[in-house]
Amino acid sequence: MSLYRDEGVVLRTQKLGEADRIVTLLTRENGRVRAAAKGVRRTTSRFGARLEPFMHIDIQLATGRSLDVVTQVETLTPFGTKICADYGRYTAGSAILETAERLSAEEREPALQHYHLLVGALRALSGGEHDAGLILDAFLLRGLAIAGFAPNFTDCARCSADGPHRLFSVQAGGMVCPSCRPAGTVAPSADTVSLLSALLTGDWGIADASESWARRDASGITAAFLQWHLERGLRSLPLVERVYRERNVIADGPGPVGDDPNTAGGERDMDSGEQNSAGDGQVVQA
């Protein structure tokens, strides 16, 4: 069997037999790789702890027929140490890992940009550089942009009419003008649109200064946009949203619109009379 070496991040593990595991990694040179790790579930394993989710590793593998075989592992950065110590970081990190796996649909297809984005997100999450929810939403938006689904938060996504516009359409791919307005649009506040744009472009000054109700609405729009393009939701994302509401909405109180934290921060659509609140990952049709 031929050997090759790469660096990567452990995305997921599955039990195999009595003492082995199947490890899914996103690697720098070879994209997403699935490999069998022999004997790592035994207490005497030399590198079992290094093949856990969130671990950034240097790994040597032997090419196999269906699964490669792990032969050597060295730890580069133990992101899991700090991420797993905090429930909010852990749930956000789990959604990041699941998204990274879903966006790399083909095995062994090079995904260098997604790899760098993943390592950067885990480093920021582990270091507590920003709010965990903001790091997650930034990763989701940028990951979709790399995959070719970049949302447009300035000009009209359909006719390219100069913005700013007040309507957002998931299926259209961003903000739309009144003339191009499809069914199912929402009317996010200007602060929410500014936050979404900042997360996409990496303007952390604006993102860190945002209000909790704007973060909640931005998270809902991001979740809907992700679900539309992946054609199904993430299993780990509802847990992140629950933690986000408890820590950022209930703790901080309602936003500037009304007294109900479940509708704070939304704008009323004047055409339909519907109250827009995307905090639960739902798109309110106008």
Q: What average pLDDT values come out for the chain (286 residues) when binned by 10 residues?
A: 92 91 95 92 83 95 90 94 93 95 88 96 95 96 94 91 90 92 90 95 95 93 93 85 51 36 36 37 37
By residue range, what is the domain housing residue 223? 130-250
CATH number of the domain enclosing 17: 2.40.50.140
Q: State the pLDDT at residue 246.
A: 52
CA dist., res. 16 & res. 257, Å (int): 53
**Residue 247's pLDDT is what?**
52
Amino acid 271 reads D
Say how far apart CA 99 and CA 142 lie, in whole Å.
Answer: 11
Judge whether 121 lies within some domain: no
pLDDT for residue 183: 86
177 is written with which tokens?
A: 């003008």
- CB-facing half-sphere around the CA of 25: CA atoms within 13 A: 33
CB 178 within 8 A of CB 186: no
- Amino acid 195: pLDDT: 96
For 198-245, how does the pLDDT look when each residue is reduced to its tens digit (9 = 90+)? 999 999 999 999 999 999 999 999 999 999 998 887 888 888 865 545
238/246 Cα distance (integer angstroms) = 13
156 falls within a domain: yes
Number of domains in the chain: 2
Closest by Cα among 75, 97, 9 to 89: 97
Does 147 share its domain with 72?
Answer: no
The residue type found at 118 is L
Whether 146 and 245 map to the same domain: the answer is yes
pLDDT at 48: 81
Whether 91 is in a domain gets the answer no
